[in-house]
A and B are shown apart, each in its own frame.
Chain A
Amino acid sequence: MNGGDAAGRLVRPFTLTGGRTRPARGDFTLITMVTAVDPQPSGGTRSQPEQARIVRLCAKPIVVAELASKLDLPVSVVAIMLCDLLEAGRISVRQPRMISRVPDLDLLKKVRDGLGRL
């Protein structure tokens, strides 16, 4: 692998995660909603600038995919950083609906009606 700049661009984000390439837990899908806990817990370890940036960006609820896009970082990197923030009690997460294949008629109708109003 000697991709020069391209390789550097890909490897560098993982320095933010201490070299980890997988999150410790699988809580973060692309559309998992993340919200900063307000007020932030006091004490604890000093956070990286990127962690502080994530906390600022999720002052209002935001999904993982949007967060990654705004940070210009791979989703896999953002998921690892979010794990750390969750462990530190600095964010809360809300999982997406319809994780199973069990149909939820009310949910489907709600989406259908919403699209009809566009």
Chain B
Amino acid sequence: MAGSDPTPQGISAPDTVKILIAGGFGVGKTTMVGSVSEIVPLRTEEPLTTAGLGVDDLDGIPEKKATTVALDFGRISIGQDLVLYLFGTPGQQRFWFMWNDLSIGALGAVVLVDVRRPESSFAAIDFFERRKIPFVIGVNGFHGEHPYDPDDIRESLALPENTPVIPFDARERTSSRDVLIALLDQLIAASAH
């Protein structure tokens, strides 16, 4: 690719990879990104164009709310030459056209589930299943509590047996990190086959 390779002398740019943090609105995506990121989560805002929205999608949406979509993301340096970025996907369904772009080149995804309203994450699960993007389920406990068995949650979400379902606390760095590790273990197991 033209212009890709020659790096300026003295500075070598690290490689980059990304993981998506998905799930329904208000399920703890930005909290998780913030707890494992080495930087305070950053935000970019994109103007929405009508090209990205079906006309029907605008019905009933106050214009101001439909004018931008915010994207929160964080960073984890993996040594000197590799950086992992975590992108919280926009929760509301009307922003899903962005997910296609976001998911290109992603290693995989973490779908966060709130057991009090699991249905808010169904659409995210469908999205990754259809595109064959590997994912794990992170069950973000309300106040860190986990009253339900992961196997029962997996069954209620109609997921295959080999989909990891990990109870965790998005506010805790090590807990959030462990969910990412579970995703990587899943990816490594799949690619070793």
Contacts and interface: CB of A to CB of B under 8 A. Distances in A.
Contacts of A76: 46-47
Nearest to A67: B44
Interface residues of A, number: 51
Contacts of A103: 187, 190-191
A60 B6 CA distance: 15
B49 interface: yes
B18 A31 contact: yes
B92 interface: no
Given A75-B44, A93-B4, A115-B181, A21 B73 contact: no
Nearest to A36: B8
B85 interface: yes
- Looking at chain B's contact residues, the main secondary structure is mixed
Contacts of B43: 69
B14 A61 contact: yes
Given A10-B47, A75-B46, A33 B16 contact: yes
Given A96-B15, A99-B104, 20 more contacts: A29-B104, A30-B18, A30-B73, A30-B87, A31-B105, A33-B15, A33-B16, A35-B13, A63-B83, A66-B42, A74-B44, A92-B3, A94-B5, A95-B1, A96-B105, A103-B191, A108-B187, A110-B78, A114-B84, A118-B174
Interface of B: 1, 3-18, 36, 42-47, 49, 63-64, 67-68, 71, 73, 75-79, 82-85, 87, 102, 104-105, 107, 132, 173-174, 177, 180-181, 184-185, 187-188, 190-192
Interface of A: 1, 3, 6-7, 10, 13, 21, 27, 29-33, 35-38, 60-61, 63, 65-66, 68-69, 74-76, 86, 92-99, 101, 103-105, 107-116, 118
